[in-house]
């Protein structure tokens, strides 16, 4: 009986390891990774929407909307050039709260921090 169970498990593993297209890598939040290509000079790349209040920087969304804590309009957080940047930030949506004054690595995922800014209308 043990031999039969082992045979079935091994057969299942062999079948599941066949030639298949790889699925996109999933991030911590279950969404497929967005490709982080180099941003052409002067062009900004939208990463997430966030609340403009520093105390609500943990609020992030893939879509525009309002902050659930203060009802302010969410603003785009974008990768930009160093001359336009406000802070060094993690390019991962779920790490929108990681904001540093100097280049380095995200303390949570170890990705390289990018020059970022919040695009506000004022």
CB-facing half-sphere around the CA of 19: CA atoms within 13 A: 0
Longest dimension (CA), the chain: 73
**Contact by Cβ (8 Å): 111, 105:** yes
pTM attached to this predicted model: 0.63
Q: What's the pLDDT at 112?
A: 97
Which strand (E) or helix (H) includes residue 113? none
Write the secondary structure of 47-108 as one string of H (helix), E (strand) and C (coil): EEEECCCHHHCCCEECCCCECCCCCCECEEEEECCCCCCCEEECCCHHHCCCEECCCCECCC
17-55 per-position pLDDT tens digit: 554 444 434 344 443 334 344 545 568 999 999 999 999
Q: What's the pLDDT at 95?
A: 93
pLDDT higher at 12 or 90: 90
53-73 per-position pLDDT tens digit: 999 999 999 999 999 999 999
Q: What's the pLDDT at 109?
A: 96
């Amino acid at each position: 009986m043990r031999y039969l169970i082992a045979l079935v498990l091994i057969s299942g593993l062999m079948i599941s390891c066949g030639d298949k297209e790889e699925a996109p890598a999933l991030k911590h939040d279950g969404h497929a990774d967005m490709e982080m290509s180099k941003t052409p000079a002067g062009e900004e790349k939208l990463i997430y929407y966030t609340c403009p209040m520093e105390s609500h920087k943990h609020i992030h969304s893939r879509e525009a909307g309002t902050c659930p804590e203060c009802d302010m309009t969410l603003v785009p957080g974008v990768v930009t050039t160093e001359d336009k940047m406000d802070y060094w930030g993690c390019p991962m949506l779920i790490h929108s709260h990681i904001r540093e004054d100097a280049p380095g690595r995200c303390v949570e995922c170890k990705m390289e921090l990018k020059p970022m800014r919040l695009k506000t209308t004022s």
